[in-house]
A and B are shown apart, each in its own frame.
Chain A
Amino acid sequence: MNPNDSDLPRHRRIWASYNRPYSGCGCLWTIIIILIIWWILSWIFGWGWGWGWGGTGGGVTR
């Protein structure tokens, strides 16, 4: 696990490919990234994310 120890080409040296010390946390982070991408796509295609989680909204205009 040495971030500087790599002879791989640049396209392989992005963090997730060449230096992945975080097994469990990295997996969770990847799932979150996939959901974020889905969220961004939902702006374009109008998919619903409409469920509320029981809050008051605090009077904030959204």
Chain B
Amino acid sequence: MSPANSPAVNAWIDLIAAWIAFLILAYLPAVAPARAITPATLTLFWAFFSMTSIVLCDQIVLRLENRSLLLEMTANGKAWLRFAAIGALSGLLLDGIAQWLGKLWFYPDWNEFFYALSFIPGFMAYWIVIVESYLAVRAVVRRFRRPLKREPRVNKMFFRAAGIAGLALTAAGIVLLLDSYPAGYGFETRARCALDRPFLHFAITAMGVWLMLEYAQWACGRESLLMRLSAGDAAPLWSLLLASLIFSFFWESVNAQHHFWIYSNWPWERRTILGAPVAVIAAWPIQYLIFLSLGFLTPRELWR
């Protein structure tokens, strides 16, 4: 059998063809007539976009490492429940801090009912798409660089201090965010709401949440990003940054067509790349850091 006909090569050709087709279809709304763009069709399109991203990233990992996070997270009823809990927690940690408190973006097309209805399934999809994109990039990175087997140096005091510092930063960040409202806090997901420098306060809160999650991972006997770095293994960090760079450009350029979500209150808001503020692209790794740190709630070791 010639190499061109081997099943492995054919499987890769299929996957590459699927990715190329997806990259073209992702920009479909740009050529849609104005009457075809409604909140319902945009919701449908984003369901297609996120699900296809999940499946195609999962297929890369499946072919390179012969395992699938999507299958593990949906293996049975208990796994689905865990997946839903992680989705809800991801939503609370991302939208809860950045949107409910920070008003860093809003969803112009949905009222509170549809926002609430889509919250858990939406963040289940978003959590897994972020994690799958990291795993896919890491699987590719590992083809060129073997993972280090060295054990991390775990310092009990360090992780306890990180937990306490994280708690303090989170509390301080939330107080500062609530203090940014000129006329008292208001819940608003559909319209722009001007706040005083919420990004800085969001960054403080997110840093606090990440440090608390570092503590939680250590306390549960799981590996964390800082543990891998202490073992001299920078591959998870580089994979995270690379996945963030690639997928931030992809997601933001697709959203720039019809603005399913709109950014507000970001620093240097007029400096944009692909329709998104530069600061948004720069801040994308924050969500990877938090979502991947939630991996300790799954049976899968995401950092190793």
Residues on the A chain within 8 Å of B197, using CB: none
The CA-CA distance from A58 to B8 in the complex, in Å, is: 48
Q: Do A53 and B108 touch across chains, with their CB atoms under 8 A apart?
A: no
Residues on the B chain within 8 Å of A25, using CB: 51, 54-55, 70, 74
Count, chain A residues at interface, CB 8 A: 40
Given A36-B44, A58-B106: A51 and B38 interface contact (C-beta under 8 Å): yes
Q: Do A42 and B36 touch across chains, with their CB atoms under 8 A apart?
A: yes
When C-beta atoms are compared, the residue in chain B nearest to A3 turns out to be B11
Contact with A along B56-88 (1 / 0, CB 8 A): 000100110010101100100000000000000
The CA-CA distance from A40 to B24 in the complex, in Å, is: 14
Residues on the B chain within 8 Å of A24, using CB: 74
The CA-CA distance from A7 to B1 in the complex, in Å, is: 12
Contact with B along A33-60 (1 / 0, CB 8 A): 1011001101100100111111111111
The CA-CA distance from A60 to B262 in the complex, in Å, is: 9
Given A4-B7, A5-B7: A50 and B38 interface contact (C-beta under 8 Å): yes
Q: Do A55 and B44 touch across chains, with their CB atoms under 8 A apart?
A: no
Q: Do A57 and B68 touch across chains, with their CB atoms under 8 A apart?
A: no
The CA-CA distance from A22 to B25 in the complex, in Å, is: 22
B39 an interface residue at 8 Å Cβ cutoff?
A: yes
Contact with A along B161-191 (1 / 0, CB 8 A): 0000000000000000000000000000011
Q: Do B55 and A35 touch across chains, with their CB atoms under 8 A apart?
A: no
Q: Do B59 and A3 touch across chains, with their CB atoms under 8 A apart?
A: yes
B298 an interface residue at 8 Å Cβ cutoff?
A: no
Q: Do A54 and B114 touch across chains, with their CB atoms under 8 A apart?
A: yes
Partner of A4, one of B8, B41, B68, B111: B8
B252 an interface residue at 8 Å Cβ cutoff?
A: no
Query: How far is the CB of B269 from the nearest CB of chain A, in Å?
Result: 15
Q: Do A56 and B190 touch across chains, with their CB atoms under 8 A apart?
A: yes
Residues on the B chain within 8 Å of A43, using CB: 32-33, 36
